[in-house]
Structure 1
Amino acid sequence: METRAPRQRVGRAERERQILDAAVAVFSERGYQNASMDAVAKQVGVTKPVLYSHFGSKEGLLLACITQTRTQLLEVTSVAAAAADGPEDMLRRGTKAFFDFLDVQRPAWALLCSESAISAATCSALEEIRRQQTDFIAGMLAVQVPDADPHRLIGWANVIVGACERLAVWRGRDPRLTGEQATEYLMDLVWTGLAPRRP
């Protein structure tokens, strides 16, 4: 008689990561409204009650996906900026890291673009990503223009975040546009515009 190898237990953190990766894939492929918890559970290889025990609800799972994306985005842009050898390189590397992240995490980006109006909680979570990146960019700009009014720095950062989002949407429609090109287009305006103010 053949004996079946015992199933290995997966730790809670690893299981949640598996669920989130599966949920991002299912949500981005089917859209939030058409995606089911059954489909996510099947992809992970667990029962639906396991999903509810970890995230409480379908919307809770979506919010967790958005939170994971926010954390990952800040990490990759921070690492890129930290490797820079000057203010211009810092902004360039941070911007390029944003576009590279969208290429690698295309399903997550598709999810964020398509699910902005599900609920107030979802809208708030998405706006938190913008606030996070705005604060991060304002910090980088402060290095370039140390005497600038902090309120002006936040204004500039909002302009950059908005421009990056629109460039990302454009890239989604036109795959010929590379991350390098999008970064250069942003730098053409931002770095040139800051030139009279840089020390």
Structure 2
Amino acid sequence: MGETPPKTRMRAPARRAVITAAALKVFAGKGYHGTSLGEIAAAAGVARTVLYDHFPSKRVLLLAVMQEQNAALVEYVGSRITGSGPAEERMRSTIDAYFGFAQTRPEARRLLFDRTDEDDPEIRTVRQGIRESRTQAVTALLAGDMRSVGVDPYEPVAEAMVELLITGLDGVAQWWERHPDMPRSTLVEGAMRLLWTGLGHAPPAATDG
């Protein structure tokens, strides 16, 4: 009989990625306060001592996962904002990308936007910082389009409008979780009618008589 080949030792970056992936699922499903490091270690298939080698506390792990997923979201959506084609086409693609992110990575969307840890001041502060960095990043990506419609991307109101866009789209994504039968394409076109055409340019309602 041949000898059993030795197990390949997982490198530290790969092990860290396994831990953060497991933590994302557990945090999103049970919330920060309902989650223990033991549960995350079990979900990742590692000993708690191994988890502590990478993350000294549950708070540190949560913040690392939030920052990781926020960067993924900005990259995911940003490539559509700065893509080729006219502004209307890129806006449609950007909206579709956000809904695609929400559809394929629901745990990440919940962790970034559904707050279950607001009583922890440190997490609240970091969460706010992540939110502001996301808004600033998207504002920078939209700078050219903003200038084309007469909006200075360096004015505070520009970030306020981007915040309106982000939170509005996430509100639709939350509604979609409650109404999963709605086709994604229908949501995209509905959002486009409001965000691109605008309420002020909607066709007049029909009247009787």
Q: What range describes the TM-score normalised by the shorter chain of this pair?
A: 0.7 to 0.9
Partner of 1:135: 136
Q: 1:73, CA displacement in angstroms?
A: 0.4
Are the equivalent residues in 2 in contact too, given 1:76–1:101 (CA < 8 A)? Answer: yes
TM (norm. structure 2) is 0.81
Are the equivalent residues in 1 in contact too, given 2:16–2:54 (CA < 8 A)? Answer: yes
Uncovered stretches (5+) of structure 1, i.e. residues with no partner: none
Shift of the 53–31 alpha-carbon distance from structure 1 to 2, 3 Å rule, reads same
Question: Is 10-19 or 185-194 further displaced after alignment?
Answer: 185-194
Q: Percent identity?
A: 27
Separation in structure 2 between the aligned mates of residue 88 and residue 66 of structure 1, nearest angstrom: 31
Partner of 1:96: 96
1:176 aligns with 2:181: yes
Report Cα offsets for 1:85-106 as digits up to 9, x if no partner: 1222222222211111111111
Separation in structure 2 between the aligned mates of residue 138 and residue 194 of structure 1, nearest angstrom: 23
Partner of 1:111: 111
Bigger radius of gyration among the two: 2
Cα RMSD (Å): 2.5
Partner of 1:47: 47
Partner of 1:24: 24
1:190 aligns with 2:195: yes
Q: 1:9, CA displacement in angstroms?
A: 1.5
> The residue matched to 2:72 in structure 1 has which SS?
helix
Report Cα offsets for 1:38-96 as digits up to 9, x if no partner: 22212222110111121110111111111111111011112222333122222222221
Structure 1 stretches of 4+ moved >6 Å: none
Specify which structure has the higher proportion of helix. 1
TM (norm. structure 1) is 0.85
Q: 1:148 aligns with which of 147, 151, 158?
A: 151
